[in-house]
Copies of this chain bind each other. A is one copy, B any other.
Amino acid sequence: MRFLPNLPKKWRCNRPTADHLSGVCSIFDLIPDRNIVGAVSNSFQQNFLSQLITYGDLTGSPPFVTHGLPASIFKKGVQVAALDPASARSPADVRADIRAGKIRGHTSGMAHGFVQANLVILPKPWAEDFLQFCLANPKPCPLVAVGKPGDPALPTLGPGIDIRTDVPKYCILRDGQPVGESHDITDLWGDNFVSFLIGCSFSFEGALIDAGLEVRHIALDRNVPMFRTNIPCEPAGRFSGNLVVSMRPFQALDAIRAVEVTSRMPQVHGSPVHIGDPSRIGIIDVTQPDYGDSVPVADGELPVFWACGVTPQLAIAQARPPIAITHSPGCMLVTDIRDESLLDGDFRFEPGPI
């Protein structure tokens, strides 16, 4: 164990997770009198911690710990910022604040290292078709949980979850079209409503940064660029539509590494669906996304395309169910599932009949 310069010796880095040579930033929860616990962030700029990581102990893998204390960001051993206290908080604490109305917006960066999930709620007759659509299209719609009809609990994602109150903002759709937003859907809830929780790219982006890759839109502090493609989804019942993809540019060797990393996370979209020439999947101009923000593709970089969680929203717009409820973009369900457990197989979702 080596200790950090300009930091108390008791602040140790036991488990750095980013490639310190790449200059990619990781956030470490720096907790006085405790180990420094690594948690990859996808919401901060590069280079904050490269020096800190360099001096960390690159071996060892203690259990993941989060803590209620605000943590700090150091640059070359000097404190430059305090971490959002929510980053080091437990998923249960974040959900409690959401339920109490204290958090009503984006959940990005909260409860670092835990899976956040997309939400789709449908009445049972539509839910049966939608389950088949998800199972037939696991890359855009990787299920992490399906609720029981009428039951707002999701015990496999966290004790005490009430899906009617534990998402910061909901989007209400009638006949497939958005008609309004709400912070609480208790009044709308029906006794045959089924919740679908779908894996989210936050987890695999964390893993990419963890592997030392620069994720362009995060480095630029933008939303990921997303595109409609000409790739049809497998239809199921009343649901059909084309695949929506997100794009992240990489140099070839990093693109290969990105395939390796994400292939191990099938429950958060898995490996890419396309690499290289965007026109092959019906994208005319890779700098003009249909959703999200544009990011530059540098000379020699390959655009890499992953199946995107916006796909089911298009399928819902096409199917026109009388009512559907989704999360508002970025306002996710924060679960108790660790990102890591997607990699090591600790967490697996096995769908049954609704």
Would you call B302 and A276 a contact (CB within 8 A)? yes
Give the number of copies in the complex. 2
Would you call A275 and B302 a contact (CB within 8 A)? yes
**Does A84 lie at the interface of the complex (its beta carbon under 8 Å from any beta carbon of B)?**
no
Would you call A273 and B256 a contact (CB within 8 A)? yes
Would you call B259 and A274 a contact (CB within 8 A)? no
Binary contact track A243-277/B, C-beta < 8 Å → 1, others 0: 00000000011011101100100000001111111
**Does A2 lie at the interface of the complex (its beta carbon under 8 Å from any beta carbon of B)?**
no
Interface size of A by Cβ–Cβ distance < 8 Å? Answer: 18
**Does A63 lie at the interface of the complex (its beta carbon under 8 Å from any beta carbon of B)?**
no
**Does A300 lie at the interface of the complex (its beta carbon under 8 Å from any beta carbon of B)?**
yes
The one of B256, B260, B280, B300 that contacts A300, using a Cβ cutoff of 8 Å = B280
Bound-state Cα–Cα, A252 to B277, Å: 9
Bound-state Cα–Cα, A269 to B175, Å: 53
Would you call B300 and A271 a contact (CB within 8 A)? no
Binary contact track A221-253/B, C-beta < 8 Å → 1, others 0: 000000000000000000000000000000011
Given contacts A253-B273, A280-B300, 7 further A-B contacts (CB under 8 A): A252-B276, A255-B275, A256-B272, A260-B271, A263-B263, A275-B276, A276-B302
B-binding residues in A (CB < 8 A): 252-253, 255-257, 259-260, 263, 271-277, 280, 300, 302
